[in-house]
Amino acid sequence: MDYLVGDVQGCCEALDRLLAQIGFSPSRDRLLLIGDLVNRGPQSLATLQRIRSFGDAATCLLGNHDLNLLAVAHGVRKLKRGDTIDDILDSKRRDEWIDWLRRQRMAVRHDGWLLVHAGVAPQWDAGQTLALAAEVEAQLRGPDLVPLLRGMYGDEPARWDPALGGAARSRFIVNALTRMRYCSADGALDLKAKEGLDRAPPGTMPWFDVPGRRTAGVPIAFGHWSTLGLVNRPDVLAIDTGCVWGGALTAVRIDGGRREIVQVKCAQAQKPG
């Protein structure tokens, strides 16, 4: 059985309860974790330990919080108030955990689903999304890791252009895959707004509702947007249900054409920020 799992964000206790509820067995089942494995919750290291113990039975996407950990570990960023990744940074096996994390995925196609952490630029089709994700994955795993981390912060360029190169190209790809929520009708990213649909900035809409987006009709699952909550449409499945903010951790069984939703409440509640 194949299960998508929403943003864990270091809530290992909730993850354990969720896996117990679905009866997960790494010898039989598969987990596809949608990103933001760590940070803000109380057990970032324990979460990585648990997930890695499943070996090939777990496929992980990288979210913005996971990339933040890589940036801090390599001296590109400083710890921010609210970060809860010290247990990883202080671990005797720190280098091993960081190396494992940098080898995870930016986008995955599985059983007809396109999986990303945050979104897909309206100008990309599914194949292009995977190809562009692979560009960033190669940088994460190779000698260009630190230059990638140094160049990936910023909100520009806001709109995709195939002619983009260098840091601007990688930055847009990373922003689309790990940070985007709202877009304008012409596909420009608005990376400031974090609110739910009742507070969309004027002239914007959720990226998945942009008219003419090239992945229309492709089932896409994503997380990242806790204020959006669960969205369960035929072609859109949003599963960041705000576990770390006192909401729920969500798993969705997707094999065999199913879509079975399982949730557990999270006891750890942080203040958004």
Cβ–Cβ under 8 Å, residues 119 and 80: no
The two three-digit tokens of residue 151, written as one number: 């160049």
Percent share of the chain, pLDDT over 90 = 96
Task: State mean pLDDT over 35-53.
Answer: 98
Q: Can you give the pLDDT at residue 214?
A: 98
The single residue listed with the structure tokens 């995977």 is 130
Alpha helices in 40-93 (DSSP H): 44-52, 64-73, 86-89
**pLDDT tens figures, 192-237:** 999 999 899 999 999 999 999 999 999 999 999 999 999 999 999 9
The DSSP symbol for 36 reads -
Instruction: Using a cut of 0.85, tell me whether the model's pTM lies above it.
Output: yes
pLDDT of residue 257 exceeding 70, the answer is yes
Task: Give the C-alpha separation, 261 to 241, whole Å.
Answer: 12
* Phi, psi for 98 (deg, rounded to 5): -65, -40
* Distance set, CA 76 to CA 45, 73, 96, 141, 250 (Å): 20, 8, 19, 17, 32
Phi, psi of 89 (to 5 degrees): -65, -30
- Is residue 260 predicted with pLDDT exceeding 90? yes
Average pLDDT, integer, range 261-268: 88
Distance CA 5, CA 32 (A): 6
Contacts by residues 146-154 (CB-CB < 8 Å, ≥ 24 positions apart): 146/74, 146/76, 149/67, 149/70, 149/71, 149/74, 149/76, 149/77, 150/76, 152/67, 152/71, 153/71, 153/77
Cα–Cα distance measured from residue 185 to residue 200, given in angstroms and rounded to the nearest whole number: 13
pLDDT of residue 270 exceeding 50: no
Sequential DSSP letters for 101-157 = HHTSBSEEEETTEEEESS---TT--HHHHHHHHHHHHHHHHSTTHHHHHHHS-SS--
Separation between Cα atoms, residue 167 and residue 253, nearest integer Å: 37
pLDDT (average), residues 128-149: 98
Per-residue pLDDT band at 20 (split at 50, 70, 90): very high
Token representation of residue 197: 């649909």
pLDDT for 26: 97
Mean pLDDT, rounded, for 60-73 = 98
Q: Which domains can be identified in the chain, with CATH numbers?
A: 2-265 (3.60.21.10)
Q: Categorize the per-residue pLDDT at 268 as very low, low, confident or very high, splitting at 50, 70 and 90.
A: low
Which of 42-51, 91-100, 120-129, 196-205 has the weakest average pLDDT? 196-205
132 and 173 in contact (C-beta within 8 Å)? yes
The gap between the terminal CA atoms of the chain, to the nearest Å, is: 35
Cα–Cα distance for residue pair 52/74, rounded to 1 Å: 21
Q: Write down the pLDDT at residue 267.
A: 76
> Does residue 12 contact residue 265 with C-beta atoms inside 8 Å?
no
Sign of the alpha-carbon dihedral angle for 250, 254, 259, 260: negative
Q: For the chain, give the mean pLDDT.
A: 96
Question: What is the pLDDT, as a whole number, of residue 258?
Answer: 83
